[in-house]
Structure 1
Amino acid sequence: MSLTVQLQTMLAMVAMGGWLGMAIDTYSRLIRGRHWNKWITVINDSLFWILQGLFVFYVLLQINEGEMRFYILLALLCGYSCYRALLYRVYMKVLEAVIQGIIKTYKFLKATLFILIINPTKEILKFLYKLCMMIIGFLITVIFFLLKIIFTPFKWVGRGIWRLLPKEKFRKLINKLGFLKKLKNYIKRWLSK
C-alpha cells in the first residue's frame, strides 16, 4: 500500500469515526424515551451496528481494497473522539433543531390538511346528506299525497258497494272463510280513515 493510499485511508477513517459518532447520537436521540420490547431494541441495535459496519467497510473497500490494519482502528477512534470533543454540542443542537422543524412542519401540514380539505369535505357531506333526506322526505310526501288522490275515488266506490251489499249474507260468507276476517278488519280500518 502506497503512502498516498495510507494517508487517504487515515483521513477517510477519521471521517468515518466522526460519522459513527453522529450516527450513534442520531440513533440514540431518535429512540430515546421510547418503551419498546427488549427484542425490538436488540433487533434495532443489531441492524444499526451491522449497517454502520458495512458502511465503514464499503468506504475502506473503495479506498484501499479492504485492507484492515491496526492504525485504521486507531483512526476510527481518533475521528470519534474528535467528533465528541469538537462537534458534539453543535451537532446535537442542529439535530434537535432539524427534528423540531420536522415535527412542526408535520403538525402544520396536518392542521392545514384538516382545515382546508377534511373539515370542508365533512361539512359538504353533511349538507348533501341533509339535502338528500329533505328531497327524499318531500318525494315521499308527494307520493303519498298522489296515492291518496288516486285511491280516494276507489275508497268512495268501495264504501258505496259496501253499503249496497246484503250484510248478513256477506258476513256469513266471511265467517266461513276465516282468513278473510283479517282482510275485512283491515279494509274496515282503511275505510274509516
Structure 2
Amino acid sequence: MVIPLWMQFRIIIFSFASGIVTGVLFDIYRLIRGIKVVRYLVIIEDILFWILSALIVFVFLLYTQYAVLSVYVYMYLILGIICYLWMFSKWFIMVEKKLVGGLFRIIRILFKHILYPFKLLFYKNKKVSKN
C-alpha cells in the first residue's frame, strides 16, 4: 500500500511528538520515583509506568495516524525521546520541582491558616484548665 507524502509527513511528525510525550511522562515518573520505596514496589511501578506509557503512545498514534506502525515510526519515536531528554529534560525537571515545591508550600500555608483558630481555642482551654 502506497501512503501519500502528506500522510507520511504526518506520521513522522506525530511519531516524533509521541516520543516527546513519552519523555515528559518519563520525567514525571522520575520525579515521583525520587521517593524511596521498597524494591519490589519499584519493579511494580516500572511495569505499570511502561504499560501506561505504551497505552498512551498507542492511543495517541491511533488517533493521529490510524495506528500505522512501521520501522520509521519506532525510529522517530525513539528520536523524539532522545531529543527531549537531551534538550528539554533538565529544564522540565527544574520547573516540575519548583511547581511541586510551590504547591506543597501553598498547601502547608493554607493548612496552618486553617488550623490556627483551632490551636488558639485548644491552647486557651489548656491554659485555663491549668490555673
- TM-score where L is the length of structure 1: 0.59
Query: Which of 11, 24, 27 is 2:26 aligned to?
Result: 24
Q: Which residue of 2 aligns with 1:119?
A: 119
- How big is the alpha-carbon RMSD for the aligned residues of Structure 1 and Structure 2? 2.1
* 1:4 maps to amino acid: W
Q: Take 2:42 and 2:87, find their aligned partners in 1: how far apart are those partners?
A: 30
Q: CA deviation at 1:121?
A: 4.7
* 1:39 maps to amino acid: Y
Work out which structure has the larger RCO, using CA pairs closer than 8 Å and 6 or more positions apart in sequence: 2
Q: CA deviation at 1:56?
A: 0.4
- TM-score where L is the length of structure 2: 0.83
Q: Take 1:75 and 1:90, find their aligned partners in 2: how far apart are those partners?
A: 22
Q: Take 1:28 and 1:85, find their aligned partners in 2: how far apart are those partners?
A: 15
Do 2:19 and 2:78's aligned partners in 1 also have CA atoms closer than 8 Å?
A: yes
Q: Take 1:111 and 1:8, find their aligned partners in 2: how far apart are those partners?
A: 51
Do 2:22 and 2:81's aligned partners in 1 also have CA atoms closer than 8 Å?
A: yes
Do 2:18 and 2:61's aligned partners in 1 also have CA atoms closer than 8 Å?
A: no
Indicate whether 1:15 and 2:17 are aligned: yes
**Structure 2 segments unaligned to the other structure (5+ residues):** none
Structure 1 residues 94-123: Cα deviation after superposition (integer angstroms, max 9, x where no partner):
11111111111121112112114x324535
Q: CA deviation at 1:6?
A: 1.8
Q: Take 1:57 and 1:110, find their aligned partners in 2: how far apart are those partners?
A: 41
Which consecutive aligned stretches of 4+ in structure 1 deviate over 4 angstroms post-superposition? none
Q: Take 2:4 and 2:97, find their aligned partners in 1: how far apart are those partners?
A: 42
Any idea what SS the aligned residue of 2:91 has?
Answer: helix
Q: CA deviation at 1:70?
A: 0.4
Aligned length: 126
Work out which of the two has the higher radius of gyration on C-alpha atoms and give 1 or 2: 1
Q: Take 1:65 and 1:121, find their aligned partners in 2: how far apart are those partners?
A: 63
**Structure 1 segments unaligned to the other structure (5+ residues):** 131-193
